[in-house]
Amino acid sequence: MISRRDFFKIIMGALLMPIIGRLLFTFPRKRVVRPPGAIKEDDFLRACIRCGMCIEACSRDGTGTLEPCGILDGIPLMGTPKVNPLKAPCEARYGRCEGVLPCVKACPTSALKWIEPDRIKLGSVEWNPKRCIAVLHGDCLVCAEVCPVPGAITIRRGLPVFHSNKCIGCGRCVNACPAHPKALKLTPKGERRST
């Protein structure tokens, strides 16, 4: 038989859980770069069960760029996948995963949906000239050398010029940047999400 105190705890827990769930969803959260084929963010957060299957598939059959979001990304995002170009670039376009998308195939809930290669845009790169070796010392254009997208990075007067409208957000330039700290940062700005 349940004691009065235990009964009260069960009732209070049942009443408070939906409220706590809603509060967690409204906590501040960072915008992160999602894997290719991610649906709109609020729908993504509802659909993603944080199983890690996409991250595992990326490690096994892709480049290994995906990792789970941590507490610094925001409580509602914890455990969901994000692209980390410091680990590896995403090769969903112009690389080993083009036309395959192991992360999408592994997703059991359709939080990630198939997307044609020419529709992939994970985000774009932000350039910090104060950290750029080409600005500080000259003779570094590694970012332009590794970029697979024609016209996404051009050279003007010995410096890289980034064209966010052409950038697909693969992170190759971020990964290859020899500056410490990096002169480049991958952001979800301009991302295209699946519907």
Asked whether the predicted pLDDT for residue 18 surpasses 80, the reply is no
- The lowest-confidence range among 25-29, 48-52, 117-121 is 25-29
The answer to whether residue 23 sits within a structural domain is: no
Predicted confidence band at 28 (pLDDT cuts at 50, 70, 90)?
Answer: low
pLDDT at 3: 77
1, pLDDT greater than 80: no
Per-residue pLDDT of 141-153, as tens digits, reads: 999 999 999 999 9
Candidates 167, 170, 166; CA nearest to 36 is: 170
Q: How confident is the model at residue 108 (pLDDT cuts 50, 70, 90)?
A: very high
User: Model confidence over 160-186: pLDDT tens digits?
Assistant: 999 999 999 999 999 999 999 999 999
Would residue 176 count as lying in a domain?
A: yes
How many domains are there within the chain? Answer: 1
In a domain, residue 12? The reply is: no
Backbone angles phi, psi at 92, to 5 degrees: -70, -20
Is 70 exceeded by the pLDDT of residue 6? no
Is residue 5 domain-resident? no
13 located within any domain: no
The tokens describing 128, both together, are: 């910090």
DSSP annotation of 163:
-
